[in-house]
Amino acid sequence: MCMACEEAEMYYRWQMLEQIAKGVMPEGMTEDDLRAMEMPVPGEIELIEKPDGSQVIRKVEPKAARKAPRKPLKKADAFVCDTPEDA
- The pTM of this model reads 0.62
Residue that wins the pLDDT comparison between 67 and 18:
18
Given a cut of 80, is residue 72 above it in pLDDT?
A: no
Closest CA to 30 of 18, 21, 20: 20
How far apart (Å, rounded) are the C-alpha atoms in residues 68 and 78? 30
Model confidence over 9-38: pLDDT tens digits? 999 999 999 999 988 898 898 999 999 999
